[in-house]
Amino acid sequence: MSKKFLELQDLILIKTSLEKVKLHVDERQQKTVFPWVKRESATTIMKCSKFPELRKLSDDMRKAVEEEDYQSLKEILPSLISKLELMIRQYYDSM
């Protein structure tokens, strides 16, 4: 397996995890369960740091989760997911 293929798999897993968190945040709104979000996104945020393009957004997300800032988290998640979709498309196109 090529390194690019493994990175693509990581990107897909990260996106799936973030979509799950986004769904929770959208459904629960102000009643978001931040301990669950923190647990669910810990590995995802760590994996994001491997990709320089995602580092700033993942740092912002980690900060929002730690501060239990619902509004910031709600704004960051769509941006991060959108960036992931673009990266996944680029990886597919380059293979």
Give the start-to-end residue ranges of the domains of the chain. Answer: 3-94
Q: What pLDDT is recorded for position 30?
A: 81
State the distance between the two ends of the chain, measured CA to CA, in whole angstroms: 12
Q: Of 53, 77, 55, nearest to 65 (Cα)? A: 77
Task: Give every residue of the chain whose pLDDT is below 50, as ranges.
Answer: none
Q: What pLDDT is recorded for position 31?
A: 84
CB 57 within 8 A of CB 87: no
CB 50 within 8 A of CB 77: no
Quick one: tokens of 36? 């669950």
Q: What's the whole-model pTM score? A: 0.89
Q: What pLDDT is recorded for position 56?
A: 95
Q: What is the DSSP letter of 40?
A: H
